[in-house]
Structure 1
Amino acid sequence: MGLGKLLHNHAEHADEGGTIDHPRAYDIFASIGFMGARRAAFTRVAIAAKPRAGDRVLDVGCGTGYLTRILSPVVEPGGHVTGLDPSPAMIDYATRRNPGNCTYVRGEGQRLPFPDGSFDLVVSSLAVHHMPVGARPEALRQMFRVLRPGGRLLVAEFRPPANRLARHLVGVLSGPAMRHDPRDLLGTMIPDAGFRVESEGDLPYLLYYVRATRP
């Protein structure tokens, strides 16, 4: 059994979604998975998102709140970061590490519990592949809905290594969900939700991003 299966509470099929319910183990696994460069990897994700002072930010699939804590000082003064995750264990863990201008809410990406136009920036990192395949398009439409006109979106997903052996090791450790090519995983969902894609491409540490705006 892979470590991914031990960490996840999910259905047998990779496309059926699920939650991660062991936050401490997840943080340890993530640190190992990024070979000690987790902070550098998520700092690059934060830079790609282009946060600004005063931004209202939503992190969909925030997990332990790792990215929210990186974004927190960047949006000061006056900014606020909201993390959303379906796992009560993750929300509790993140809340106990709240840096002050962050709040954490239990919920699902396809049913965002926020009014229209609530945020200036929505980010989602390593989360779309955890959503049920049928819910992913609606999750992107929800992200569009809660952004103000002119608001920005940054989605980052895992980019499998080119080497076949390395890809196999990733599958053993994390399960089949992270074997997807991110271009296949995301497909046309972002423009189909109404976004205008501004840029996309590879980031260091086996990540891939799409940055878009709500017209």
Structure 2
Amino acid sequence: MGLGRKLLGDPHGHADDSSGGLIRRARMYEYFSAVGFGGFRRRVFDGLVTLTAAEPGDEVLDIGCGTGYFSRRTARVVLPGGRVVGIDPSEPVIDYARRVSPPHCSFRLASAEDLPLADASFDLVISSLAVHHIPPGQRPLALREAFRVLRPGGRLFIADFRPPRNHLGNHLVGALSGHAMQHNPIHELGGLITAAGFEITASGDRRPLLHYVRAARPPL
């Protein structure tokens, strides 16, 4: 546990042995994220946005959006005509995201495994640093929900932490993900995604300590 976490508390709520808990302290989480990425948070997430292949006019869903940072960075590239909808089960971070995001971003209180959204209503589903917060037994259902709300031919992009191999990496990931890294499911992502009906189109590692998978819902 780092000094900042000792002094300021943990931005995550209570966590059990299988997930990271909810993010309850939005401003504190933003602080830890800015520090944890060493001043390169914007560069890292803009690189992820490029990997999503989001484009003008896209209707985008951000699952486990947290404070809405990935939503906002993605929203920059979907204009004109596009929008981003973020969902998260934590009311404090949804309130924060609503306050700081542009008009073509909207946010709803909801869980990944029970999306209050219509079938085939999005072109792209994205998620960053969120899968490890979903209880393991609910992860297959969450991915099936992502499949359901995508239009045929729609794309999926998930990025999460990969296990750190050194002490410094453990501190970075611990500050941003809390307890959840003990159960990070990154090695399971490919199988979970294909089991939900997707076809994987790309995967790889990104600095610092990230792994991503890009996939598509087959066209009709």
Q: Give me the TM-score of the superposition, normalised by structure 2.
A: 0.90
1:91 is matched with which residue? 94
Once residues 60 and 8 of structure 1 are traced to their aligned partners in structure 2, the CA distance between those partners, rounded to angstroms, is 17
Offset, 1:44:
1.0
1:201 is matched with which residue? 204
2:109 is matched with which residue? 106
Structure 1: which 5+ residue stretches go unaligned?
Answer: none
**What is the aligned counterpart of 2:142 among 134, 139, 142?**
139
1:70 is matched with which residue? 73
Aligned length: 213
Offset, 1:45:
1.0
Say if 1:60 and 1:171 are closer, same or farther in 2 by CA, change over 3 A. closer
1:23 is matched with which residue? 26
1:37 is matched with which residue? 40
Give CA-to-partner distance per residue, 1:141-192, whole Å, 9 cap, x none: 00000000000000000123333x2344346544341245654242510000
2:192 is matched with which residue? 189
1:9 is matched with which residue? 13
Root-mean-square deviation (CA), in Å?
1.9
Say if 1:135 and 1:166 are closer, same or farther in 2 by CA, change over 3 A. same
After TM superposition, list the pairs within 5 Å mapping 1:144-159 onto structure 2. 144-159=147-162
Say if 1:206 and 1:12 are closer, same or farther in 2 by CA, change over 3 A. same
Q: Work out whether residues 20 and 179 of structure 2, in 8 Å CA contact, stay in contact via their aligned partners in 1.
A: no
Offset, 1:194:
0.2
Say if 1:171 and 1:70 are closer, same or farther in 2 by CA, change over 3 A. closer
Once residues 69 and 174 of structure 2 are traced to their aligned partners in structure 1, the CA distance between those partners, rounded to angstroms, is 24
Q: Give me the TM-score of the superposition, normalised by structure 1.
A: 0.92
Once residues 179 and 25 of structure 2 are traced to their aligned partners in structure 1, the CA distance between those partners, rounded to angstroms, is 19
Once residues 73 and 16 of structure 1 are traced to their aligned partners in structure 2, the CA distance between those partners, rounded to angstroms, is 31
Once residues 70 and 122 of structure 1 are traced to their aligned partners in structure 2, the CA distance between those partners, rounded to angstroms, is 14
2:58 is matched with which residue? 55
Give CA-to-partner distance per residue, 1:33-74, whole Å, 9 cap, x none: 111111011111111100011000000011111011111120
1:166 is matched with which residue? 168
Q: Work out whether residues 60 and 84 of structure 1, in 8 Å CA contact, stay in contact via their aligned partners in 2.
A: yes
Does 2:144 match 1:127? no
Once residues 170 and 99 of structure 1 are traced to their aligned partners in structure 2, the CA distance between those partners, rounded to angstroms, is 29
Once residues 95 and 124 of structure 1 are traced to their aligned partners in structure 2, the CA distance between those partners, rounded to angstroms, is 18
Say if 1:113 and 1:34 are closer, same or farther in 2 by CA, change over 3 A. same
Q: Work out whether residues 60 and 123 of structure 1, in 8 Å CA contact, stay in contact via their aligned partners in 2.
A: yes
